[in-house]
């Protein structure tokens, strides 16, 4: 169920009704029961080829044994008769050009024994080129005793008919040729071959043992043998008659005794499906990000386990997986099927296992998903061998069905909720995020899961992984090269075992690019190869520079020696852009006033992260506009903060807390404690990575802590840095809490822990002897910090003091002298009423409290 199969085409539903109607019309005109005859010949109806434009060529035999070719147009969903060979022949291969004016076909004479899918020794193979618009000449291209496969090239530009068609001929004698066929138009719509007596040809490759055709990208992959060594090569064909050998790479596999194999040159019915497991499976997959993977499964001899390898050429290493086959008692084939799913390769053994291998991030095994035996995911795939034609397009050869294969978001989310293994949670989380079909819905569902399972993972931090992975995928589509520049996971190493899987990783030789002027896919692949070749250590962004610079700015703020205001203003402007970006994404009002508080430290942090991330991308992303990079940096940081806000709001909704106004004069509820717990987990996740938090986060966290924690736990959280006292939070505490003995103790404990600048402001809000005591102490500290004892007259004028308390009187006299001698020492904002008399009154009041008078 993790794979959703959408049928694009079905022979029985899309072709057979048309054939019945066509036969019925013929029978009605000429008599006879042709429709019944067609039913008996339905077994001969099969798909021959799927062209690059999606059109499907099929064949069947009529009641006379003639071979009939038809075409199904995937755009108009109409069928078209192409040609009929009035002989009892067996089709090996066929292809039609994009204009549907030429049909190429390879045929052999059917055998009397009725073995329709195998060539008999000495049988004659005819490769024919037919003019079909209108039906005209038939030209013999080859007449040999070995099998021939044919494939027309399809230009990438198909806006107008081309005057020339190009045809590949692949011979069982291990050579590939390209024929160039000039076309001309005569007598109106009559299209014929120009100079059909001589067709120019090129020898493309020879001495190869395996070849694969990539119809969607017009590429030929093949392996030839040089001194018993396998060399992997790729040829790129272009819209004109040119082609280039793009790369070659040595392969550490032996194919010398494996026979001759072709992949995707039409639909291969010449193999005995029961013997597939006796031969190695080999196929190549690419995607638009510049990945190049070769999947290889050797001949299967073991009944208990199966081995396959994936050569990640774009990463410079291969991985060999050995999986337990399982004890299902199934008699299905042991032939492995590899499917290209874009960012993943699916490895499928019917009835036994289903693996999703990450192509973008294969270095950690936990980013790949391994499912076995009784899993529902396995039951959705056809039990018959399926052929992967291009990204997401597969053909079930036995049923004649063509499918689009997608990862099923609903099942993956269900699996995320229900799996117990950390490795499967990690893999499924990344798999869901990479689907990208409805990212907002997927993130909402993942956040719901996190709110229930924040502490469920032991080998990685779930919130941390979600923040990093989701932010990465949010900007990944803007530039596929960011996978080398941005972290995609919070996990650096994975030492936990995957049940039922053993893995061996080996370095491989990088492909040698043979062409240096590269565009599109080849440019991205070359970028990946250059990265592997020259980049050590990796260039993934991390916040170490932000951490150092942020501490510097905070220190400068405390000492009042901050550097240029333009520099700081630019950083704070970045923070304003981030907050505006987040607010623009939100459709409705938020449940809590995050992002609105003037939290200067968090604004500095988010602005610094934008600045450093932008500089990092500018240094290493070549050929990308500066404005686009600035946009990416803003989007990345905005996504981080928005996800944190979404996690908090989801938690509030879950616990039915629709307002952030918590009543501090009553005990905290279980719901509020749960929200406090999730906020603490968020703080832990962001602290180790030094990620910014939304302004207002620390205020809300502190208020919840005061509300939900016993005093000794609260003070421990504050002293250990888990709770950060903000001016907004403490101001609310001073105003909202009355002066009961318990609250006085709480207020005093918090005030003495405040930084001096905030503490001086907060003490003015609390009309209490404790507050006066603290203000007095700080006033005295300021006056005496540079005090040097001077010889003084020991006689004290007692008439100036109302209380005869000689130590205090002497001290107050010193303060009075200091105040009168240097007015600037004690005049500071908001403390005009603080002087020696204030200190005296506060000291006496504090003494009486201590003495219980």
For residue 134, is the peptide bond before it cis, meaning its omega torsion is within 30 degrees of 0?
yes
How confident is the model over 56-75, as a mean pLDDT?
Answer: 90
What is the SS3 assignment for 130?
A: strand
Tokens standing for 704? 């919840």
How confident is the model over 191-219, as a mean pLDDT?
Answer: 88
pLDDT of the residue at 646: 92
How confident is the model over 781-808, as a mean pLDDT?
Answer: 57
pLDDT > 90: percent of the chain? 38
pLDDT surpasses 60 at 810: no
pLDDT of the residue at 285: 96
What letter would DSSP give residue 280?
Answer: -
How confident is the model over 12-26, as a mean pLDDT?
Answer: 85
pLDDT surpasses 60 at 827: no
Bridge partner list, 324: 305
Residue 498 backbone dihedrals phi, psi, to 5 degrees: -100, 120
Confidence of residue 777 (pLDDT cuts 50, 70, 90): low
Confidence of residue 792 (pLDDT cuts 50, 70, 90): low
pLDDT of the residue at 33: 47
pLDDT of the residue at 303: 72
646 or 807, higher pLDDT? 646
pLDDT of the residue at 770: 59
pLDDT surpasses 90 at 220: yes
Q: What residues have CB less than 8 Å from 826, skipping those under 6 apart? A: 779, 782, 783, 818, 819, 834, 835
Residue 844 CA, distance from chain mean position: 68
Confidence of residue 113 (pLDDT cuts 50, 70, 90): very low
pLDDT > 70: percent of the chain? 77
How confident is the model over 311-340, as a mean pLDDT?
Answer: 80
Of 366, 198, 214, the closest CA to residue 286 belongs to 214
- Pairwise CA distance, residues 205 & 192, whole Å: 29
pLDDT of the residue at 481: 76
pLDDT surpasses 80 at 222: yes
482 or 367, higher pLDDT? 367
Q: Alpha helices of 295-391 — where are they, by DSSP H?
A: 376-379
824 or 611, higher pLDDT? 611
Predicted TM-score (pTM) of the model is 0.85
pLDDT of the residue at 516: 85
Torsion of CA 377, 383, 386, 390, to 10 degrees: -20
pLDDT of the residue at 837: 57
pLDDT of the residue at 514: 93
pLDDT surpasses 70 at 133: yes
- Pairwise CA distance, residues 57 & 69, whole Å: 7
pLDDT surpasses 80 at 39: no
How confident is the model over 299-325, as a mean pLDDT?
Answer: 89
791 or 617, higher pLDDT? 617
- Pairwise CA distance, residues 286 & 247, whole Å: 14
pLDDT surpasses 70 at 110: no
How confident is the model over 677-690, as a mean pLDDT?
Answer: 93
Element housing 820 (H / E): helix 806-821
SS3 content of the chain, % helix, strand, coil (to 5): 40, 25, 35
CA dihedral sign of residues 255, 260, 265, 269: negative
pLDDT of the residue at 93: 93
CA distances to 13, 86, 117 from 34, rounded to whole Å, are 19, 17, 26
pLDDT of the residue at 503: 94
290 or 195, higher pLDDT? 290
Domain boundaries, the chain: 768-853
How confident is the model over 511-538, as a mean pLDDT?
Answer: 88
How confident is the model over 191-205, as a mean pLDDT?
Answer: 84
CA distances to 487, 576, 610, 623, 628 from 632, rounded to whole Å, are 14, 16, 9, 14, 6
pLDDT surpasses 50 at 272: no
What's the whole-number average pLDDT of the chain?
82
Q: Are 377 and 427 in contact (CB under 8 A)?
A: no
Q: What residues have CB less than 8 Å from 267, skipping those under 6 apart? A: 46, 47, 48, 49, 50, 387, 395, 397
pLDDT of the residue at 756: 66
Of 8, 846, 791, the closest CA to residue 406 belongs to 8
CA dihedral sign of residues 282, 154, 144, 131: positive
Q: What residues have CB less than 8 Å from 459, skipping those under 6 apart? A: 422, 423, 491, 494, 496
Confidence of residue 733 (pLDDT cuts 50, 70, 90): confident
What is the SS3 assignment for 849?
A: helix
How confident is the model over 803-829, as a mean pLDDT?
Answer: 59
pLDDT surpasses 60 at 806: no
440 or 608, higher pLDDT? 608
Confidence of residue 765 (pLDDT cuts 50, 70, 90): low
Q: Which of 101-110, 299-308, 457-466 has the lowest mean pLDDT?
A: 299-308
765 burial type by CB count under 10 A (0-12 exposed, 13-18 middle, 19+ buried): middle
Tokens standing for 445? 């569902």
How confident is the model over 169-189, as a mean pLDDT?
Answer: 86
How confident is the model over 164-185, as a mean pLDDT?
Answer: 90
Tokens standing for 680? 């603490």
């Amino acid at each position: 169920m993790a794979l959703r199969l959408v049928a694009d085409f079905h022979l029985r539903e899309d072709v057979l009704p048309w054939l019945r109607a066509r036969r019925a019309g013929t029978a009605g005109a000429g008599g006879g029961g042709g429709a019944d005859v067609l039913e008996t010949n339905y077994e001969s109806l099969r798909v021959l080829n799927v062209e690059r434009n999606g059109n499907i060529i099929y064949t069947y035999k009529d009641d006379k044994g003639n071979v009939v070719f038809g075409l199904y147009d995937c755009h108009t969903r109409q069928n078209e008769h192409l040609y009929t060979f009035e002989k009892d022949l067996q089709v090996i291969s066929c292809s039609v050009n994009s204009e549907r004016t030429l049909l190429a076909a390879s045929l052999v004479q059917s055998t009397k024994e009725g073995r329709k899918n195998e060539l008999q020794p000495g049988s004659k193979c005819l490769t024919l080129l037919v003019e079909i618009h209108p039906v005209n000449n038939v030209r013999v291209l080859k007449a040999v005793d070995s099998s021939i496969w044919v494939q027309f090239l399809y230009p990438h530009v198909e806006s107008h008919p081309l005057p020339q068609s190009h045809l590949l001929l692949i011979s069982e004698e291990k050579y590939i040729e390209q024929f160039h066929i000039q076309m001309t138009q005569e007598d109106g719509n009559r299209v014929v071959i120009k100079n059909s007596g001589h067709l120019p040809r090129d020898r493309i490759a020879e001495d190869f043992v395996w070849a694969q055709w990539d119809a969607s990208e017009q590429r030929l992959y093949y392996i030839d043998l040089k001194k018993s060594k396998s060399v992997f090569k790729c040829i790129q064909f272009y819209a004109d008659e040119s082609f280039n050998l793009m790369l070659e790479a040595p392969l550490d596999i032996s194919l010398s005794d494996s026979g001759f194999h072709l992949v995707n040159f039409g639909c291969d019915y010449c193999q005995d499906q029961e013997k597939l497991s006796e031969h190695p499976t080999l196929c190549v997959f690419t995607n638009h990000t510049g990945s190049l993977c070769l999947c290889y499964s050797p001949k299967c001899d073991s009944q208990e386990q199966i081995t396959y390898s994936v050569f990640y050429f774009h990463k410079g290493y291969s991985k060999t997986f050995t999986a337990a086959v399982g004890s299902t008692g199934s008699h299905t084939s042991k032939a492995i099927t590899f499917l290209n799913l874009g960012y993943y390769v699916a490895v499928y053994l019917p009835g036994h296992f289903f693996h999703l291998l990450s192509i973008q991030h294969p270095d950690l095994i936990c980013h790949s998903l391994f499912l076995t035996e009784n899993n529902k995911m396995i039951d959705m795939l056809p039990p018959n061998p399926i052929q992967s034609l291009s990204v997401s397009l597969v053909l079930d050869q036995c049923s004649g069905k063509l499918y689009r294969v997608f990862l099923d978001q609903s099942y993956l989310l269900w699996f995320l909720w229900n799996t117990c293994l950390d490795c499967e949670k990690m893999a499924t989380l990344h798999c869901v995020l990479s689907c990208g079909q409805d990212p907002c819905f997927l993130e909402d569902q993942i956040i719901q899961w996190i709110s229930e399972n924040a502490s469920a993972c032991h080998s990685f931090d779930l919130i941390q992984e979600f923040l990093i992975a989701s932010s990465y995928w949010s900007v990944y589509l803007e530039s596929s090269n960011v996978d080398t520049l941005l972290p995609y996971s919070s996990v650096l190493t994975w030492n936990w075992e995957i049940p039922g899987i053993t893995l061996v990783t080996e370095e491989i030789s990088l492909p040698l690019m043979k062409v240096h002027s590269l565009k599109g896919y080849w440019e991205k692949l070359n970028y990946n190869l250059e990265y592997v070749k020259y980049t050590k250590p990796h260039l993934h962004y991390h916040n170490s520079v932000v951490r150092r610079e942020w501490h510097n700015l905070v220190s400068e703020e405390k000492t009042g020696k901050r550097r240029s205001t333009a520099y700081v203003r630019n950083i704070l402007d970045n923070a304003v852009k981030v907050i505006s970006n987040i607010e623009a994404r939100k459709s409705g009002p938020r449940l809590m006033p995050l992002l609105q508080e003037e939290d200067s430290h968090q604004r500095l942090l988010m602005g610094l992260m934008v600045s450093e991330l932008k500089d990092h991308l500018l240094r290493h992303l070549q050929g990308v506009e500066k404005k686009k990079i600035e946009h990416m940096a803003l989007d990345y940081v905005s996504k981080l903060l928005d996800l944190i806000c979404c996690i908090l709001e989801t938690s509030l909704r879950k616990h039915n807390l629709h307002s952030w106004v918590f009543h501090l004069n009553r005990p905290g509820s279980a719901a509020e404690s749960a929200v406090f717990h999730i906020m603490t987990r968020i703080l832990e996740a962001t602290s180790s990575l030094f990620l910014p938090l939304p302004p207002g986060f620390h205020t809300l966290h502190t208020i919840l802590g005061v509300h939900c924690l016993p005093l000794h736990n609260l003070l421990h959280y504050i002293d250990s840095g888990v709770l950060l006292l903000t001016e907004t939070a403490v101001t609310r505490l001073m105003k909202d809490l009355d002066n009961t003995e318990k609250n006085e103790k709480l207020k005093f404990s918090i005030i003495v822990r405040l930084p001096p600048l905030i503490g001086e402001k907060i003490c003015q809000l609390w009309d209490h002897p404790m507050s006066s005591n603290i203000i007095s102490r700080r006033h005295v500290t300021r006056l005496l910090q540079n005090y040097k004892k001077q010889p003084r007259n020991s006689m004290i004028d007692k008439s100036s003091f109302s209380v005869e308390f000689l130590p205090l009187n002497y001290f107050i006299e010193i303060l009075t002298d200091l105040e009168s001698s240097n007015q600037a020492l004690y005049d500071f904002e908001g403390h005009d009423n603080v002087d020696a008399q204030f200190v005296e009154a506060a000291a006496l009041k504090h003494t009486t409290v201590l003495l219980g008078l």
